[in-house]
Structure 1
Amino acid sequence: MKTKAVRLYGANDLRLEEFDLPEIKDDEILVKVITDSICMSTYKAATLGENHKRVPNDISENPIIVGHEFAGVIEKVGAKWQNQFKPGDKFAIQPALNYKGSMASPGYSYKYFGGNATYTIIPQEVMELGCLLPYEGEAYYDASLSEPMSCVIGAFHANYHTTAGKYEHSMGIVEGGKMALLAGCGPMGLGAIDYIIHRDKKPGLLVVTDIDDARIERAKAIFTKEDAKKNGVELIFVNTKGIENPSEYLNEITGGTGYDDVFVYAPVKPLIEDADKILGRDGCLNFFAGPTDTNFSANLNFYNVHYAATHIVGTSGGNTDDMKESLDMSAKKLVNPAVMVTHIGGLNSVAESTLNLPNIPGGKKLIYTHIDMELTAIEDFEEKGKSDPFFKELADIINRHKGLWSAEAEKYLLENYTKLI
């Protein structure tokens, strides 16, 4: 059958093309992709081309389909998997395969397997590793965003603490403790706030910083102090831009004890150094943001490492259990990954949006792969609605959901948008 997909041929060479998919083998599964969210990692792969560690060297002759944060519906199941999967099932993909030591991953390495496509073929190793995940929720975007949410979740599971006199680590954050998210009002930070407030093990105090008033105000509108308090968390937002000594100010909020868990959501040297300065005894600093500079570094206080038992961890991605946790919490409406989304587009917008991703403001760019639609900021729907009844209704739906994308918005889009790819 035919598919339309965005394929990578070399550095900065992305092309939307229609081509034939081969008939699936007995150990493969054919799926219809509904949504894919664009990741900064895809931008890195697209700009590096074959120089990226996950991208094959022969993409000029055998291009790969980009996109790895995707979800959809199973269309056809090979004989090997028919007792486990069936047509019509909704799915999400865990892209971190690590199959027999290979770095191959959907969106980076496969000719017929990637998220920015109308249809794609899932190879047998995905099922063998348990990385084709069933999804019982209502909206497809929740399943797509379970991948970035799993990265958020994994970071909280990776933090650890110690007990004096014992040589063992207690994994996870300090329950009822003091936590700070620095540069925490971007898309991943918003996902983290949502997860922190609504998970079982949570801090008593959560301080979130940023340097942009608009981002902070949006975060405050989504996550109110009242809602956080109902869930047992004191939530404080701080704009550190005009504060002369941010670490001193943040420490004062704790009464001078410092923080048990500090997460850094931007690869900025002074930010990391402030994070180090606000750690309390046995405090754990999680460097969440991935730098592109291979020599990126910052100064840390090793006196405190020795005498105050402070420590640092870094996480890159989540595992399958983290993704299952995200899918489960989304299906139960405990978290809303839509807090990450600021733009909606069709498959035709993927190539340009991916190559310009660092220059496009806002959070996640969510793609519906069967429509033809320029990448559009959700906040622009109302203006477009003045001349387009479709966007007027979509804007009304958005306004009913705190300005966020929603299952209602997705359903309206899929049922009423007539310009198909």
Structure 2
Amino acid sequence: MKTKAVRLYGVNDLRLEEFELPELRDDEILARVVTDSVCMSTHKLAMQGTSHKRVRHDLAKEPVMVGHEFCGVIEKVGKKWQGRFKEGSKFAIQPALNYQGTLWAPGYSYQYIGGDATYVIIPPEVMEMNCLLDYQGDNFFMGSLAEPVSCIVGAFHAQYHTSPGSYVHEMGIKEGGSLALLAGVGPMGLGAIDYALHNPRKPRYIVVTDIDEARLSRAQELLSPAEAQRLGITLHYVNTRDLPDPVDHLVSLNGGKKFDDVFVFAPVRALVEMADRLLGHDGCLNFFAGPTDPAFSAQLNFYDVHYESHHLVGTSGGNTEDMIESLEMMSRGLLNPVFMITHVGGLNAVPDTVIHLDKIPGGKKLIYTHKKLDLVAITDFAERGKTDPFYAELARICAKHGNLWSREAEEYLLQHAPDI
């Protein structure tokens, strides 16, 4: 079977190609991809090429399919898996396989599986590691968002605290404690606010910072302090750009106390050092942002590590349990990460989007892999619609749903957008 896919051959060498997939083996599964959400991690993969930790081979000789936040339909099941998986069922994938101690992952390490493709062959290790997950949603885009949400879930689970006189680590954010999310109104920051508000282990107080007033305003509309208050949580959004002493101001908002948990969503040295200064006794700093510079570093106060029991954690992706939790909370309506999506495009838009992702404003860029579409911001649909009836209708549909993407918008796109 032929597939069309975007493959990486070297640093920023992304090519949209059509080629034959190999014959399906008994221990493999053939799948049709419908959506992929472009991740900043794929941008970093393109920047680093063969030197990336998840790349297995020389990319010039064995290029890899990119994209790891994808959702689709199982087309054909090899004999080994026929009692476990059904043709025609929807799926999502946890790309962090943790297979035999390797960093192998779809979207980074394989020639024939990645999210930016029309059809893929799922290798046996995905099933062996229970990373091919059943998806029951009535749309595809939420299945693509399950992976980034699982990264947030995993980060919250990785936090830990201790009790006086005990060496037992209590995992998770401090229940009833205070939480600071720095540079926290990007797509992953918004997801973290949503999870902090709606997961069973809730903080008492949340402060979210950024230096972009427009993004802060959008966050307040989507995840309002009033909604947080209804849930028993005090939520503040703060623009720290012009504050003479951001740490003093944020601490004053928390009743003069420093924070139990602090997350950093941008790889900026000054931000990491601010997070360190915000930590209270037994505070846990989560460096969530993945830097592209392998030498990235910042100063930490080791006096406070010793006397104030400060600790530091970092996670790169979630695990299968985190992904299952994400899918379950989404299916129950407890999480609604659709606000992460700000742009929509087709497979043809992937190479340019991946290479320039750090310069494209907004949140998640959602790709429909069987379609040929420019990458367009949802907020630009109406302008495009002045000359293109397709975008005029998408603008009308999105306006019905609070200018957010929706099942109705997806169904319209799948029916009316040109095929790749």
Q: Same fold, TM exceeding 0.5?
A: yes
Match of 2:237 in 1: 237
Question: Where do 1:179-328 residues align within 5 Å?
Answer: 179-328=179-328
Quote the offset at 1:168 in angstroms: 0.7
Unaligned stretches of 5+ residues in structure 2: none
1:222 touches 1:402 (CA, 8 Å); kept in 2? no
Quote the offset at 1:4 in angstroms: 0.7
Quote the offset at 1:208 in angstroms: 0.4
Establish whether residue 386 from structure 1 lines up as the match of residue 386 from structure 2. yes
Distance in 2 between the 1:295 and 1:10 partners? 21
Establish whether residue 396 from structure 1 lines up as the match of residue 406 from structure 2. no
Match of 2:24 in 1: 24
Distance in 2 between the 1:346 and 1:246 partners? 41
Match of 2:55 in 1: 55
1:345 touches 1:374 (CA, 8 Å); kept in 2? yes
Q: Mark the CA change 1:408 to 1:82 in structure 2 (over 3 Å): closer, same or farther.
A: same
Distance in 1 between the 2:278 and 2:104 partners? 39
Distance in 2 between the 1:92 and 1:105 partners? 14
Match of 1:155 in 2: 155
Runs of 4+ in 1 over 4 A off after TM superposition: none
Distance in 1 between the 2:176 and 2:377 partners? 37
Distance in 2 between the 1:368 and 1:232 partners? 39
Deviation per CA, 1:337-387: give whole Å up to 9, x if none: 212111111000111111111111111111000100011111101111122
Distance in 1 between the 2:51 and 2:173 partners? 37
Deviation per CA, 1:260-285: give whole Å up to 9, x if none: 11111111122112211121221111
Q: Which amino acid aligns with 1:408?
A: E
Deviation per CA, 1:138-190: give whole Å up to 9, x if none: 22111111111111111100101110011111100111111110110111100
Q: Which amino acid aligns with 2:360?
A: I
Q: Which amino acid aligns with 2:195?
A: Y
Match of 2:95 in 1: 95
Match of 2:373 in 1: 373
Q: Which amino acid aligns with 1:36?
A: D
Distance in 2 between the 1:284 and 1:382 partners? 44
Distance in 2 between the 1:206 and 1:296 partners? 27
Distance in 2 between the 1:51 and 1:304 partners? 36
Establish whether residue 41 from structure 1 lines up as the match of residue 41 from structure 2. yes
Matched position secondary structure for 1:31: strand
1:138 touches 1:331 (CA, 8 Å); kept in 2? no
Distance in 2 between the 1:198 and 1:4 partners? 39
Quote the offset at 1:50 in angstroms: 2.0
Q: Which amino acid aligns with 2:155?
A: A
1:64 touches 1:112 (CA, 8 Å); kept in 2? yes
Deviation per CA, 1:317-342: give whole Å up to 9, x if none: 11110111111111122111212111
Deviation per CA, 1:36-74: give whole Å up to 9, x if none: 111122122223222223224333233221111111000
Match of 1:83 in 2: 83
1:221 touches 1:402 (CA, 8 Å); kept in 2? no
Distance in 1 between the 2:342 and 2:371 partners? 18
Distance in 2 between the 1:413 and 1:169 partners? 48
**Aligned sequence identity (%):** 61
Matched position secondary structure for 1:145: helix
Distance in 2 between the 1:49 and 1:272 partners? 27
Establish whether residue 8 from structure 1 lines up as the match of residue 12 from structure 2. no
Distance in 1 between the 2:294 and 2:2 partners? 41
Match of 2:419 in 1: 420
Quote the offset at 1:410 in angstroms: 1.3
Match of 1:409 in 2: 409
TM norm structure 2 = 0.97
TM norm structure 1 = 0.97
> Which deviates more, 265-274 or 74-83?
265-274
Distance in 1 between the 2:85 and 2:187 partners? 33
Distance in 2 between the 1:272 and 1:49 partners? 27
Distance in 1 between the 2:309 and 2:248 partners? 20
1:99 touches 1:129 (CA, 8 Å); kept in 2? yes
The aligned length equals 420
Distance in 1 between the 2:299 and 2:54 partners? 31
1:12 touches 1:49 (CA, 8 Å); kept in 2? yes
Deviation per CA, 1:63-111: give whole Å up to 9, x if none: 2211111110000001111111011111001111122233322112211
Distance in 2 between the 1:44 and 1:80 partners? 35
